[in-house]
Amino acid sequence: MAGRGRASHSSVLAVCLLLASLTACGGPSAADTAKAEAQRVLDQRAAAVLHHDPAAYAATGTRAPYARLRAVPLTAWSYRLKSLRRSGGTAVARAELSYRIAGYDQAPVTSGRTLTLSTGADGKWYVESDRPEKKSAEQLWDQGTVSVVHGRSSLVLGVGHTAAVLRGYADLADRAIPAVSDAWGTDWSRHVVLLVPKSLEGMAELLGSPVSEYRGIAAVTTGETGGSGSAPADRIIVNPAAYGMLGSLGKQVVLTHETTHVATRAHTNAATPLWLSEGYADWVGYRGTGRTADETAPELRGAVADGNVPAALPADSDFGFAGDPARLARAYESGWMACRMIADRWGERRLDDFYRSVGAHGAREGAVEDALRKVLGITLERFTEQWRAYLGRQLG
């Protein structure tokens, strides 16, 4: 009996120790609790943005940036906490912001954010600041209060511009969309979003790149979200300084060019050389304007007149914004002339088919060669010869 008692006592003690161990291992740690509380306040903040509830937003901490983005038509806004570094009553959170613009984004735009939080007298977490994560691009509302203008098929978001100025961008975009569809077809969203920052510096911050890369560049298109659902559509980001120096035709050509990138995005990938993607966008941009080759390709015309006909189609490296402006211009003009030659000799439909065929290849090696053979029935060597001769006839 005594032996059985000791065994029973030992068993009870072992069970108790095991339960204590399991309880200690299974219970939430202080770090886990802090993360859960931080995620909770971020969820509340996101819900306040979507429900247009400034009071609920203010209850989570700083009012910024809600006041700056409240005019943006959002259909989704959420944060996913990636890490939390706590020191006493303060913490630094790294989070992924995910959002969609109503009527334009079919998939979310994501952006890395760094948020500082602190605990209040009630022991709850509150957001003190919300800024772009290191090496992440800014969002437009990081630069100021966003104004919004709706076009027929376009949305223009701007900082530091009047509604009349933004309306001008929307009108140009609304004219670009049917022009692009007439050339490319209608198998794309036929909607565009334009971001118009206050300055060149603002443009560079939105792109997360040095200012020097975009000086003199009127606009660029950057992949974001939407389109086919499997390929990114885009934001057209304007450099107001360079864009403002263009005449009415130039402004329309630029927006039609950038809109073409939006339309062709699902068929543009690593297989597509820049001479084709940029050349095709220029071809659509100038299509129907009546501009001659001499008028559209002045840098290339000068080179041809001097006997310097390019030996080959431009490489991707020739399209660097931070390089020699004349070299960049010749690269764009060379791509445009190549696409123009295809449209002139084989027809516009074949040009579209060629573009799609290159993208369907999936990898750069052999993509152009295969598409030339399948769609145009020609080798790259022969195509290059004909293109060089075309330059001589059109620009000589």
State the Cα–Cα distance between residues 354 and 364, nearest whole angstrom: 14
The pLDDT score that the predictor gives to residue 27 is 56
Please, where are the H alpha helices in the chain? 2-26, 30-50, 54-58, 66-69, 163-184, 200-207, 240-244, 248-264, 274-286, 293-296, 298-305, 325-346, 348-361, 367-371, 380-395
Residue 91 CB: number of other CB atoms within 10 A? 20
Catalogue all structural domains in the chain, each as residue range(s) with its CATH number. 31-136 (3.10.450.50), 138-263 (3.40.30), 268-396 (no CATH)
Q: What is the widest separation between alpha-carbon atoms in the chain? A: 115
State the Cα–Cα distance between residues 55 and 257, nearest whole angstrom: 43
Q: Which amino acid, one-letter code, is at 391?
A: L
The pLDDT score that the predictor gives to residue 97 is 96
Q: How far is CA 24 from each of CA 13, 17, 18, 20, rounded to the nearest angstrom?
A: 16, 10, 10, 6
Q: What are phi and psi of 78, to 5 degrees?
A: -155, 160
Residue labelled with tokens 């769609």: 375
Q: Please report, in angstroms and rounded to a whole number, the separation of the first and last CA atoms in the chain.
A: 115
Radius of gyration of the chain (CA): 28
Residue 6 CB: number of other CB atoms within 10 A? 10
- Hey, is 299 helix, strand or coil? helix
Give yes or no for a contact between 205 and 197, defined as CB atoms under 8 angstroms apart: yes
The residues pairing with 90 across neighbouring beta strands, listed in sequence order, are 87, 118
Q: Which residues of the chain have pLDDT under 70?
A: 1-30, 224-233
